[in-house]
Every structure is written in C-alpha cells, then in structure tokens.
C-alpha cells in the first residue's frame, strides 16, 4: 500500500468537491454575459461567494477570487498604500517575495524558538510610519499557530494594517475574518481537499487595494479575468465539510517517533502537522527511502528543482544547520486512516533501524 501524508502540500480532491465541480461544468455561460446562460453562471458565482462568505465570517462582496494563495498574497502586499511592510521571519515564500517586489521598505519580525512572533519586538517595530504587517495564522512547515488576536490589537493601536495568510489554517481550525479583526486575509482550497488553482483575498470594507490584473470589470473591478467557475464551485463545496480533526492520529504518530526532535512541540500547532528531525540523517535521502517504502512525505523546507534547500523557517527559530537538513514534515488530511499511520510507523522503524546499523 501507499500512505499519502503530504496534505500541507496538496490534499487529494474530496468526493463532494469533485461532484460540485462536475455539476458546474454543465454551466456553459460567462458570468459577465446578460443572456440566460450568463445569468446561470452569475448565479453559480453568487451562490458560491455567499456560501464562502458565511464560512469565512465576512460579507460576500469582500471576497476576491484569485488563482490561489500566491496571487492573493501578492495582491495584498503590493496593492496597499503604506510606507513599509513588516513580515514575520517564518512567512511563506510568496509573502516574502511579494514584500520584496513591492518596492517598499521591508522589515523582518523575529520569532522565538517555537516559531511564534516576538510580540514585544513587533510592538517596538510598529513605532514609525504606517505599515502593513503580514503574519500567517498557521505555519506550513511546523504547523505552529500565531497569536493573531494579540498581533491585531498591537497593529491597529499603532494605526497600521494587518494581513494574514490563512492558507494552511482554512478547514483545519476555525477561521473567521470578522472575529480575527484583520484587514485582509488570504485563503486557498487545495490544502484541505479542494481544487488547485483557486484562492481568495478577503478585504474589509473601505480598504482600497490596487488590482494586480487589469482588463475587465470582474470581481467589482478588483481582479480582471473571466472567473474560474468550476474551481470556485469546488472551493465553495468545502464549506459543507467538517473541520479537520486528526489530533488522535497525530498523537499516535508522535508517540512512535522515538529519539527525534519535534519542532514547535509543546505549543499550539495544527492538528495535522508534525515536523521532526534526527541528527545525522539527511532529509533528501529520507524522502527517497520513505517513498520506496510507500510513504509520501515532504521536507520541512522548500524544494527547488528537486533539491532540498535549507529551511528559512527553522533557521529563524534558531535550529542548527545539521538538524535542519534532516527535517521531515508529516501532514495528515481528510482521508488519512489508521492504516496510513501504521504504514508510516512500520516504514520509519525500518529506516531508523538501517540508519542505526550504518552508524554503528
């Protein structure tokens, strides 16, 4: 058998999502057209926006559909009129790159050894010109949860703006735009069983964000281009699914990992994410060994052209280079079973035993 445990990269399509997408394929009109077929497409679009608005805790018109989280992050960081941008040291590459491409002054917010934003340092950094602060709700590598409520209070007291990247959090914990008290929020579908290539930027009423794409008048003139109705229907179908709950499976998996370092252990993390390392091991070799044993995982670091690179997240947490290069991320999903966990544990014991024999 094979066990797919890389849901933080992309989670397989849920049956309900697939069904909604297939049904949407029969709607052949363009939502911008005035004829009957266009009205049918526009109704599908409006219904999806309303359903997602209820799920995200925002007004439907606050939602701008994008091609995914990366586009939404770029729109948020490059489209707001501020003098500087503050991003945490553990943000996704799409946030870090978008901040750099904005042409504005970029300042990096330090994190503690668990990967959480240093609140006292952020407060000091907020003194000065108006800033846009960008902090993810949950980290894609470690799963650590940021104290968004405290961050939002500080940012708004200082007269600045707050954007949160909620891509890894959506569907895995409650994500309510109104309760978070933020100015912008990025969401995407494919981390919890939705389609790839669809995301959203949610913008509070009254905040002006310049569009990245110019052209037609779609999305209230905030994002040009014919809407991807099929993927939008799949995105909206996620709103009917239960919140992911894999705490028990994650605990059982963690209990089987002896003599390892689990990053951000002891603080609040996503229910599905475990990032661990064993000194002396190599992540690239481990990934190949797990794949041969029928287990799909990823490194805790970003991959480029098939190479496992150093993790900027673990580096920011003060993790040594030796331990960082051995980091492996396990991420569970909606279809993870007891059998998957048993298969992983069996594979890990084989690989670990071979490593110990070589070391001896």
Supply the residues annotated as catalytic. 303
Residue 272 half-sphere exposure toward CB, CA atoms < 13 A:
29
| Contact in structure between 132 and 107 (CB atoms under 8 Å) | no
| Tokens 């992911």, residue located | 244
What CA–CA distances, in Å, run from 323 to 249, 277, 281, 307, 320? 25, 6, 8, 17, 5
Q: Is 9 helix (H, G, I), strand (E, B) or coil?
A: coil
The whole-angstrom separation of Cα 174 and Cα 357 is 45
3-state helix, strand, coil in the chain (%, to 5): 40, 20, 45
Residue 228 half-sphere exposure toward CB, CA atoms < 13 A:
18
| Contact in structure between 336 and 288 (CB atoms under 8 Å) | no
> What's the DSSP call for residue 242?
P
The whole-angstrom separation of Cα 322 and Cα 7 is 26
The whole-angstrom separation of Cα 89 and Cα 276 is 20
| Contact in structure between 243 and 335 (CB atoms under 8 Å) | no
- Residue 319: both structure tokens together: 């993790």
């Amino acid at each position: 058998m094979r066990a797919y445990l890389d849901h933080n990269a992309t989670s397989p399509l849920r049956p309900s999502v697939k069904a909604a997408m297939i049904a949407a394929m029969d709607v052949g009109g363009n939502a911008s057209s005035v004829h009957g077929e266009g009205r049918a497409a526009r109704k599908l679009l409006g219904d999806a926006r309303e359903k997602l608005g209820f799920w995200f805790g925002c007004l439907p018109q606050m939602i701008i559909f994008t091609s995914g989280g990366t586009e939404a992050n770029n729109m948020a960081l490059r489209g707001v009129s501020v003098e500087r941008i503050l991003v945490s040291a553990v943000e996704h590459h799409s946030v870090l790159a978008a901040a750099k491409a904005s042409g504005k002054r970029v300042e990096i917010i330090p994190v503690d050894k668990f990967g959480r934003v240093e609140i006292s340092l952020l407060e000091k950094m907020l003194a000065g010109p108006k800033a846009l602060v960008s902090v993810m709700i949950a980290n894609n590598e470690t799963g650590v949860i940021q104290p968004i409520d405290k961050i939002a209070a500080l940012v708004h007291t200082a007269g600045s703006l707050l954007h949160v990247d909620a891509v890894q959090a959506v569907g895995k914990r409650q994500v309510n735009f109104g309760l978070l008290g933020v100015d912008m929020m990025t969401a995407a579908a494919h981390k919890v069983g939705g389609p790839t290539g669809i995301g959203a930027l949610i913008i509070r009423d009254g905040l002006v964000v310049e569009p990245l794409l110019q052209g037609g008048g779609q999305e209230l003139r905030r994002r040009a281009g014919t809407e991807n109705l099929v993927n939008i229907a799949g995105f909206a179908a996620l709103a009917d699914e239960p919140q992911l709950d894999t705490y028990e499976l994650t605990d059982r998996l963690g209990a089987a990992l002896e003599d390892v370092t689990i990053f951000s252990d002891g603080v609040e993390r996503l229910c599905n994410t475990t990032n661990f390392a064993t000194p002396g091991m190599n992540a690239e070799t481990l990934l190949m060994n797990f794949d041969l044993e029928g287990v799909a995982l990823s490194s805790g670091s970003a991959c480029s052209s098939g190479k496992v690179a150093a993790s900027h997240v673990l580096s920011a947490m003060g993790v040594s280079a030796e331990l960082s290069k051995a980091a492996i991320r396990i991420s569970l999903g909606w279809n993870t079973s007891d059998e998957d966990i048993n298969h992983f544990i069996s594979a890990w014991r084989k690989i670990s035993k071979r490593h110990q024999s070589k070391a001896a």
